[in-house]
A and B are shown apart, each in its own frame.
Chain A
Amino acid sequence: MPVASLRRETAVRRILAVIAGCSLLFLGMIMLFLFIEGLPLFSTVSVSDFLSGMFWYPTSEPPEFGIFPMLVASCAVTLTASAFAIPLGVMTAVWLTEVARPGVRRICKPLIEMTAALPSVVIGFFGMVVAAPLLQDLFDLDSGLNLFTASLMLAFMSVPTICSVAEDALFAVPASLRAASLALGATRRETTVRVVIPAAFSGIGTACMLGMSRSIGETMVVLMTAGGAGILPGSLFDPVRPIPSVIAAETAEASFRGEHYRALFAVGIVLFLFTLAFNLAARHISEKNSAGGR
């Protein structure tokens, strides 16, 4: 190959490498800016007070920055949503790969994927004007905007995520395993429950982690349907204030680089670390499996 053309190839490769590095750079910059803006808060408020404090009064004198109720609210909302979304998502995925005929599958799979594309603000809106009044009447509550409504809407949002990741895992189970099980005389149910699902178990675990990560970070839905009361939830039907909704509701009003502003970025750090942990856990589960090579 001529030297000039060889040199050009190297240049192209280098430029592409730099562009590809952008994603890594952006992730780093997100962390950097969260920490630059958020960490100075801890010169006035200790980390333990911040995490375990019961009251969030950012604008009173002296201000109080305790996010414990929000942490509890976020966890409660995510767990309740997962209790609906994980069974529903995994069962739908199993239906798609093991039961549905190819023609049905070809139509239903994109439909379920489309649910993931519904804008979160529209789902929040739907929760506000339809689900909340309905649940309020059904359970005779003071307000329909509460932990339960928010969880239901979050579940609706995270089902397609769980379903499509779990479906990929189930689809990747070799057909020979199924054929072997069926040839031994097992019914399709026995094949599904005892052979296919165990073989795809780690992929399904990854799906659950990603679904939970999606629920905990989702903003508009909890902002519009969770009720927004900064208290520890005593029951499933209490209004709550999860982490993302605090950031969304107050950032516009916080004065630039004031204590309130810093506190909101600190809250953002906590949220970021939460989702990072979920994502790394999801990756760990899927990687352990592929490296193990059963």
Chain B
Amino acid sequence: MSAQSFPRFPATPHPGYVASAAAAGTRAGLASQNTLYDGTTSRRETEAGTGAHLMDRMQIRRIREYLLFTLLRLAAFVNIFALFGVCAFLLWNGLSALSWEFLTEAPRNSMTEGGIFPCIVGTALLALGSLGVSLPLGVASAVYLHEYAGASRFARSIRLGVNNLAGVPSIVFGLFGMSFFVIACGFGISLLSGLLTLAVLTLPVIIGTTEEALRQVPVTLREASLALGATQSRTIVRVVLPAALPGILTGGILGLARAAGETAAIMFTGAVFFSRKEVDSLFSPVMALSNHIYVLATSGTDIDKTRPLQYGTALVLVLLVLGMNLVAVILRDRLQQRRRR
């Protein structure tokens, strides 16, 4: 293919410019491949063609770059727009439902009036409780994997297990929680069953983020501590963990947010749509925001009439979860800035 076969473009762009450039796209692609990888062709063309031809080809390549990058920007924009769209929609519809009473009162009149206070308490208990179990387990696992095990076979199989655990659908965690914690252990549908199921579910998140945090701690710190005569366990407790603490906290917050937003895993293990009783022990069932939205929106009494309640509950849940994520993101960002300095 020779340079002469390209359509000529005027030096100054006119309205049909971009369209004809796109039409010439495929041929230009082939030509630029020639220039890039085949030195002889390129030289021959340079000798044969005039400077104007080269200009044209460069312009075509620039236009193709511009088109692709625009497409990529558009894709990113769609994503971010979707996030803002959902949030704006919830804010728009949910803000009017939010009030002090909505946040502090129990539901009334077979769930069609009143507030969501028990759901907020339930979600908080479930999420914090699950973190209380998964954080120690997760941090200890990550410490073992990163500080002790290295690349041994046992460590490899644990990593495989963690990866696959992260991929198990939440509804399967729900089934497991029901058959194991609710029935086999005899905890019943209760706070305890729910939070243990959530703890298993968030464990991979904690392990992943903690390992990442440990990886960021410079080896020199460990070596310095060991050289001063500290044992390995002392080094970890006194030097490595404090240095990794912000990263571990970030992971903890992410795990908390994940647990708070989860529905399918607690549907049959811990959450009930309505409980008259106060939550007074680990064995009482709880109400949860996520489950509340689902039941109100799909099978509650008078779905249309309770729409404002649904919007309000969804808004509270999203604010809670995204708020926690924002804290985690800012924490992580600060960390990266500090490290760069």
- 8 Å CB contact of B263 from A5, A119, A210: A119
A119, B321: Cβ atoms under 8 Å? yes
- 8 Å CB contact of B176 from A20, A34, A106: A34
Please give, as numbers and ranges, the residues of chain A lying within 8 Å of B68 by CB-CB distance: 189, 192-193
The interface of chain B, by Cβ under 8 A from chain A, is: 32, 35-36, 61-62, 64-65, 68-69, 71-73, 75-76, 78-80, 82-83, 86, 89-90, 137, 140-141, 143-145, 148-149, 154-155, 157-158, 160-165, 167-176, 178-180, 183-184, 200, 203-204, 207, 231-233, 254, 257-258, 260-264, 267-268, 290-291, 293-294, 297-298, 307, 310, 314, 317-318, 321-322, 325-326, 329, 333
Binds B, one of A23-31, A59-67, A135-143: A23-31
A224, B294: Cβ atoms under 8 Å? yes
The chain A residue with its CB closest to the CB of B64 is: A189
Q: Is the interface of B mostly helix, strand, loop or mixed?
A: helix
A108 to B268, CA, bound (A): 37
Q: A17-B144, A190-B32, A220-B294 are in contact. List 6 more A-B contacts (CB 8 A).
A: A23-B165, A23-B204, A117-B325, A119-B321, A121-B314, A219-B169
B82, A22: Cβ atoms under 8 Å? no
B171, A244: Cβ atoms under 8 Å? yes
Binds B, one of A39-47, A50-58, A179-187, A232-240: A179-187
A27 to B176, CA, bound (A): 10
Please give, as numbers and ranges, the residues of chain A lying within 8 Å of B90 by CB-CB distance: 122, 126
A276, B264: Cβ atoms under 8 Å? no
A258 at the interface (CB under 8 A from B): no
Least Cβ–Cβ distance between B118 and chain A, in angstroms: 17
A80 at the interface (CB under 8 A from B): no
- 8 Å CB contact of B233 from A8, A87, A117, A184: A8
- 8 Å CB contact of A118 from B65, B161, B294, B322: B322
A67 to B178, CA, bound (A): 22
A27, B172: Cβ atoms under 8 Å? no
The interface of chain A, by Cβ under 8 A from chain B, is: 1, 5, 8-9, 12-13, 15-17, 19-24, 26-27, 29-30, 33-34, 36-37, 87-88, 91-92, 94-96, 98-100, 106, 108, 110-115, 117-126, 128-130, 156, 159-160, 163, 184-190, 192-193, 210, 213, 216-220, 223-224, 244, 247-248, 251-252, 256, 264-265, 268, 271-272, 275-276, 278-280, 283
A23, B203: Cβ atoms under 8 Å? yes
The chain B residue with its CB closest to the CB of A280 is: B164
The chain A residue with its CB closest to the CB of B263 is: A121
The chain A residue with its CB closest to the CB of B229 is: A1
